[in-house]
A = this chain, B = another copy of it.
């Protein structure tokens, strides 16, 4: 898939300077989100946890960062044609928001099983929503069709240098607020967040350890990370609807370069970690956000006694169907 005007070649990645530039570019359009702590979760895990609350971010997810950076970086001539993407929801809402801030059109292809809250989020920002089947081929086809019909530029949810740079800005802020972290953990879907997180963290703080956290039912990244080549799953199955996407060559390269280990979590573990976060921290997070904590509770990542930053990806949940009520 094309990357839009500034995507670079298929393996290029942002550096720390690009992530810092992204931070300056998007600062007036995104929130500098809170870092929260919770004594009882620390005790449950045996470490000191610092949660970067991107559930409080614009559109309810970190995706606002990457989308704003990509959209704001387009030339005027390119931007005029509008932007298009496919997304399980949060990137779609984020692209809609970024386009609205810039005053251009946005088209968002969403799988028909995306939560109502996420669909409403996208439409609420003035984007045109097109539903399609819940598989990558259908989504890419719809996206390409719209690009051809309208001339809109495709902004990929994660396989895009500017998007990755934008996602990395959350970690810049986290490290400013908590300079002495030993470990940073982010969830993995397509790997855009983890790539930006890992590049930002290891560049800004040499010696820091970066972990990925993935649902066991959608563990293409753990497999690809281990083997060194892309191993997409035909049917990822997880309640973490933001984490069903597949690594690209670009994001695999970032992970192999900057990430130490990838943990996986069971579906039960994800639901339990999500519920614990709601009950103990009193914040609403989506299932994807709970995957790092689930890995810590299921001991697939070792953080004993460490100071650990965790990126909470977002808080867009369908409140009619919660995982522990199914």
Q: What B residues does A55 contact at CB under 8 A?
A: 282
Contact of A319 among B279, B283, B315 (CB under 8 A): B279
Contact of A284 among B283, B320, B324, B325 (CB under 8 A): B283
Distance in angstroms between the alpha carbons of A60 and B278 in the assembled complex: 11
For A279-303 the 0/1 string (1 means CB < 8 A from B) is: 1011111000000000000000000
Q: What B residues does A320 contact at CB under 8 A?
A: 324-325
Q: What B residues does A117 contact at CB under 8 A?
A: 279
**Oligomer copy total:** 2
Known: A319-B322, A320-B325. A278 touches B282 (CB 8 A): no
A216 located at the interface, meaning its Cβ lies under 8 Å from any Cβ of chain B in the complex: no
For A299-326 the 0/1 string (1 means CB < 8 A from B) is: 0000000000000000100011010110
Contact of A60 among B56, B282, B284, B285 (CB under 8 A): B282
A91 located at the interface, meaning its Cβ lies under 8 Å from any Cβ of chain B in the complex: no
Range, interface on chain A? 10 to 19
Q: What B residues does A284 contact at CB under 8 A?
A: 278-279, 282-284
Q: What B residues does A34 contact at CB under 8 A?
A: 34
Residue of A279, A285, A324, A325 ringed by the most chain B CB atoms within 10 A = A279
Asked if B322 and A278 sit within 8 Å, CB to CB, the answer is: no
Distance in angstroms between the alpha carbons of A315 and B281 in the assembled complex: 9
Within 8 A of B (CB), among A155-211: none
Asked if A315 and B60 sit within 8 Å, CB to CB, the answer is: no
Within 8 A of B (CB), among A86-122: 117
Across the interface, name the chain B residue whose C-beta is closest to A278.
B284
Distance in angstroms between the alpha carbons of A319 and B34 in the assembled complex: 24
Shortest CB–CB separation between residue A11 and chain B, in angstroms? 36
Distance in angstroms between the alpha carbons of A282 and B319 in the assembled complex: 11
Across the interface, name the chain B residue whose C-beta is closest to A277.
B284
For A238-276 the 0/1 string (1 means CB < 8 A from B) is: 000000000000000000000000000000000000010
Asked if B319 and A275 sit within 8 Å, CB to CB, the answer is: yes
Q: What B residues does A281 contact at CB under 8 A?
A: 56
Shortest CB–CB separation between residue A114 and chain B, in angstroms? 16
Q: Which 7 A-B pairs have the closest CB atoms?
A: A282-B315, A282-B284, A55-B282, A278-B284, A283-B283, A56-B282, A284-B284
